[in-house]
Structure 1
């Protein structure tokens, strides 16, 4: 949440909800080289179905957030992001996960003004293509 002064001296409050932060993070993570896809996992599937249903009832088109969860924290104020990914077997997993952390942190800060206190990346799958193993 940010507060800004309006021209007439009025205080304007901007509220950024966790699904918006998750959508920004999902978009940034998906663009990182070596990320094959975001993986929703069991917890993510349940939350995603509920969120999509609520948004469709309101007539909104939901932004893709599968595999990403964002949490607003009060003390200290900040945002925490969790991302579940499938990676390419062609890249080093740790380096790709760190690249995801940097990309998501930068994108969330640029889009919302909030600096993530943590960006956790869980690798759920590594795709090996071409029969190398």
Structure 2
């Protein structure tokens, strides 16, 4: 008998969020309006079940042929925003593939704000 593993969107989002937060120049992840509504509903469901939800704010996941992620970040003014965005793309794709074995076909990064020091 073989074991079957199911990897859900919140798990992928948590891995992606952790990876994005670890990139130099990322101040924080920022949930847009759509992400905020989804996050509140998911957190409520998990708390009802007695689970402590992993932070996933600022990450949206679509899973079809491959994994497509949207990551919303706030950068620091000390780094080039475009370079930080590319670094987030690479870090998120690598982390999700390494942690889940799933193929990441797209990581779209939106820079919502730049924090002045």
Q: Give the TM-score normalised by the residue count of structure 2.
A: 0.97
Q: Which has the higher contact order (CA 8 A, sep 6+)?
A: 2
CA offsets per residue over residues 58-110 of structure 1, 9 Å max, x none? 1100000000011111xxx2111100000011101111000000000000001
Aligned residues: 117
**Corresponding position of 2:69:** 81
**Corresponding position of 2:16:** 25
Runs (5+) with no aligned partner, structure 1: 1-9
RMSD: 0.7
- Which structure features the higher share of strand residues? 1
Q: Quick one: distance in 2 between partners of 1:115 and 1:29? A: 17
Runs (5+) with no aligned partner, structure 2: none
